Structure 1
Amino acid sequence: MKKTWLITVSLATALTSGLLQAAEGLQPADPKRGETKANTICVACHGPQGNSIVPIWPKLAGQHPEYIMKQLMDFKAGNRANVQMTPMALPLTDQEVVDLAAYFSTQAQSGGQADPELAKVGEALYRAGNPSSGVPACSGCHGPAGMGQGLSKFPRISGQHADYVKQTLGYFKSAERANDPAGMMRGVTARMTDQEIAAVSQYIQGLSK
């Protein structure tokens, strides 16, 4: 546990200088402070240790701290809007953002199970895309096991709720969500059918590292 804490603190401290370089006087990221804050304001929706029970609310457990920090800062800056999250994120200090990211990133995700039939279709799309419509393989950015890439801010999607993934892809497709770098996700989802979105969402829910 101590080793994990030290790694997380070192990583989040390095991230602080990049993502939050404009802020001054930040302390090293502290997962314990993050846990206290999470249990105060996050647990009702995102569940104990960041494993949400309601499938339209995302699991934060095991997510890359870089991605959590970006999303919280985007909510604060108005670059991503959500009726539930925006008012929760606005009062957060930069220090609290860093601490929350450190906490959730060290938690074990609960994983999930996929619908077998839909998952077969979703797996083909996830691993190979759809060349005929120009949909790229999801694995190109999110990795073969859906673990993402922290420094690139590509989120871990492995084991995420299918309902949340489906909802999020729909938001990107309609451009209701537009905080994806260079419009990458909007470009991908614009080429996806609703059936493809449903299938790949199911496959992602059953992915595990």
Structure 2
Amino acid sequence: MKSIAPLLFAAFAWAAPTLASAQAPAKPDLAKGQAIANQVCVACHTVDGSRGTPANPIIAGQHPEYLVKQLQEFKSGKRQNAVMAGFAATLSDEDMRNVAAFYAGREARPGAATNKDTIRLGERIYRGGIAEKSVPACAGCHGPAGSGIPSQYPRLSGQHFDYTEAQMIAFRSGARVNLQMNPIAARMSDVEIKAVSDYIAGLR
């Protein structure tokens, strides 16, 4: 009886690259991402994702994995925002990867803190937390310079004060669900949220 080992090896050798190519996502297409940005995102996030309306986030230079995750959550309804849900609903997973890669490649222009009376408080919270309230330092997850960690924590440096404050308040109320941020924001006062949000705006 002939051995079937050569046949099995041949079958495996043919299937292995096929399976690998099926599992590996295609490399993002920056041209397609830019086209989506210009058609869909530009009104709220500007052409390069930087320093638009303060109520909307700066997404230039943001980690692409984080941007894709947020778009997927808007589309699924896990993250609530009527405007973004409508836009995200039109995007495929490939579209999301393309547009996220495009914005991740843009350079965010630096911002500035504006409230000199709370800058020290904001810095203390960002770098050291609030020990008496068991609030950890923001830098522990988002980095000393606010650069974040890809796939885990977003870049914060230079983010609009208005946007950061609004998200912290949403985390505190539970309107935006995040298992890590909800209990942290819940222990922070309005003054503390404003101070750290303003400090983040000037972080670089």
Compute the TM-score of the two structures, normalised by the length of structure 2. 0.86
Q: How does 1:50-129 map to 2 (within 5 A)?
A: 50-115=49-114, 116-129=116-129
Tell me the distance in 2 between the aligned counterparts of 1:57 and 1:151: 21
Name the structure 1 match of 2:198. 202
Quote how far apart the aligned CAs of 1:35 are: 0.6
Q: Which runs of 4+ in 1 moved over 6 A?
A: none
Listed one character per residue, the Cα deviations across residues 81-123 of structure 1 (whole Å, up to 9, x for unaligned) are 1021111111101110000110010000012110222222100
Per-residue deviation at 1:30? 1.1
Matches of 1:93 and 1:25, distance apart in 2: 16
2:113 and 2:198 in contact (8 A); partners too: yes
CA distance in 2, matches of 1:81, 1:31: 27
Distance 2:24 2:165 in 1: 39
One-letter amino acid of the structure 2 residue matched with residue 200 of structure 1: V
Report the alpha carbon displacement of residue 170 of structure 1 after superposing the two structures with TM.
Answer: 0.5
What do residues 53-91 of structure 1 show as CA deviations (whole Å, max 9, x unaligned)?
210100000000010010000111111010211111111
Contact 1:46 1:53 in 2 (8 A): yes
Q: Which runs of 5+ in 1 are unaligned?
A: 1-22
Give the distance between the partners of 1:25 and 1:150, measured in 2 at CA.
Answer: 19
Q: C-alpha displacement at 1:25, in angstroms?
A: 9.3
Contact 2:51–2:109 under 8 Å retained in 1: no
Question: Following TM superposition, by how much is the alpha carbon of 1:151 offset from its aligned partner in structure 2, in angstroms?
Answer: 2.9
1:98-152 residue CA offsets vs partner (Å, 9 max, x unmatched): 0011001000001211022222210000000000111110000000000000032
| Long gaps (5+) in structure 2 | 1-21
TM-score (norm 1): 0.84
Largest Rg, 1 or 2: 2
Q: How many residues were matched structurally?
A: 182
